[in-house]
Amino acid sequence: MFRFTGKEIRDLIISFIVIALGFTILYSNGDYSHIGLVFPVVMIGVGAGFIFHELGHKFVAMHYGYYAEYELWPTGLIIALVSSFFGFIFAAPGAVVIYSNGMEKKTNGIISIAGPIVNIVLGLIFFLILGSLGDFVYTETGAIVYLICVLGTRINFFLAAFNLLPIPPLDGSKVMAWSVPVWLITFAIAALLVLFFGGIL
């Protein structure tokens, strides 16, 4: 059964708000006069990207019979906020902790790669919605949806590539420990998506 504890929900909400604020600061480029308008828009892209990324880990882990719970990392929250003022965001506010007495590298790798794959899929969904807007984009509501989709695409592809870096405790280190070819292919796809869509959006 997929259950959430009160602490887990609290940790997810706090992490979500901090990461959303970090991306808002990042995309404000030093101009914080419209931060109140940008923040709600960013929250949608980050909400989808961050929450579903962590749920991807949790649900796959529980599918394999492990108890898994998201826990925030206070230091990571601070680093995320501080780094956002310098043109980059260290998006590691916490992680899904898997409780087990031992786990095969393959299982750990599959659980770890679930989050980045979710981000890649979400990024593509945001982009497809973006491409289907047509003339609606010229309306006031359409302009907001356009901005949400642009940020949703960028943020999700960034989260996928960032989390696939082969640096502990990021997902990439566990995926690489399981299979270098799988890691290389997935990371290459995520990195290319970041470079490609970062250039055209």
**DSSP string covering the chain, please?**
-----HHHHHHHHHHHHHHHHHHHHHHHTT--TTHHHHHHHHHHHHIIIIIHHHHHHHHHHHHTT-EEEEEE-HHHHHHHHHHHTTT-----SEEEEEE-S---HHHHHHHHHHHHHHHHHHHHHHHHHHHT-GGGGGSHHHHHHHHHHHHHHHHHHHHHHHHTSS-TTSHHHHHHHH-HHHHHHHHHHHHHHHHHHHHH-
Q: Is 29 contained in some domain? A: yes
- Looking at residue 1, what is its pLDDT? 58
Per-position pLDDT tens, the chain of length 201: 578 899 999 999 999 999 999 999 998 888 888 888 889 999 998 888 999 999 999 999 999 999 999 999 999 999 999 999 998 898 889 999 998 888 899 999 999 999 999 999 999 999 999 999 999 999 999 999 999 999 999 999 999 999 999 999 899 999 999 999 999 999 999 999 999 987 665
Q: Is 1 contained in some domain? A: no
Q: Is 116 contained in some domain? A: yes
Give the count of domains, the chain: 1
Which residues are annotated as catalytic? Answer: 54
Q: Is 106 contained in some domain? A: yes
CA pair distance 72, 4, nearest whole angstrom: 14
Q: Is 115 contained in some domain? A: yes
31: tokens are: 């101009």
Backbone torsions φ then ψ of 67, nearest 5 degrees: -80, 130
- Looking at residue 189, what is its pLDDT? 97
Q: Is 33 contained in some domain? A: yes
The domain in which residue 70 lies consists of: 6-196
Q: Is 145 contained in some domain? A: yes
- Looking at residue 106, what is its pLDDT? 96
